[in-house]
Amino acid sequence: MPSDSVPPTQRHTLRMSFKALLLFFAMLLVTLVNQANAAPEHITRTMIEEKVKGHTYQALYLVPELPKAVLILLSDSKESWPEQTHSSGFPQDDFLLRAQSQWLWRGYAVLIPQVIKGKGDARLLGDDNLTLLDRWIERAHGLSRLPVFLVGHGYGTLSAVNGAAHSPSGSLSGVVLSTPITVNEKHRKTVFNAGVQSVRLPTLIIGNRRDQCPVSPPAMATGIARVMTRASDISLSFVSGGKTLSSDPCHSKTAHGYFGIESRAVGLIDHWVDATLTR
């Protein structure tokens, strides 16, 4: 029927119905986004502590219903926490912490430890940090009987590699290196200094092809895989895209931290963990 032949009242009704339909889908989209960013309702939260050489370190342990594995999240964040977890939530300048609700929705218990005290990157490779990592791994096994994975992002990959290279046999099921640090800039450490060549565990190396951070070029992922001759399995995965809200290319609110596409990076990691668990 030509539009000219439709009565004005009917045309008005059709326009109103179309607007209502658009409003419904917009509200549905907002609801889905809010659900994705909010943690599941039934979460067990436990704060645990360990002491190393007189220093007390805390870790927050979050457990959803029926978890399938424990992820120890080793962040790139320098913010002071977990004190913040009691009020406004996690620091937002780190991919792993910003996506914490997504880990929980996908069925992971997460253990989020406080960063070791000290100056420079050497603290991440030192014996004290290794001792602390071993204790967090032991606590994760003590709190559950689930497989445990180390997941490091940015400079957190130094700790992840250090822990994976020296962990007791059977204590870890795998390690994830997200935007790993590979370029020695201003005498800072890299995953090669951390002993990535000695890692025997299944390993996922993941990055963003648009990452412009000079210390974590995505092209170096193949260089890491090439030297990991002892690893039982190596997988490489990449996303491409993201938003930029910082002039610092190494800030988490850029492609370096998968900003705006966190769910895509989380999805790749989740897929790899699932595949590793079924091997």
Q: Between these two residues, 8 and 166, which has the higher pLDDT value?
A: 166
Q: Between these two residues, 30 and 208, which has the higher pLDDT value?
A: 208
pLDDT band of 35, cuts 50, 70, 90: very low
Residues 62-89, mean pLDDT to the nearest whole number: 72
The C-alpha atoms of residue 75 and residue 237 are separated, in whole angstroms, by 19
Nearest to 74 by CA among 179, 184, 221: 179
Share of the chain above pLDDT 70, in %: 80
- The pLDDT score that the predictor gives to residue 29 is 42
State the CATH architecture for 42-277: 3-Layer(aba) Sandwich (3.40)
Name the residue ranges covered by the structural domains of the chain.
1-37, 42-277
AA identity, residue 201: L
Q: What is the tens place of the pLDDT at every residue in 237-258? A: 999 999 999 999 999 999 999 9
- The pLDDT score that the predictor gives to residue 83 is 44
DSSP at 96: H
- The pLDDT score that the predictor gives to residue 23 is 53
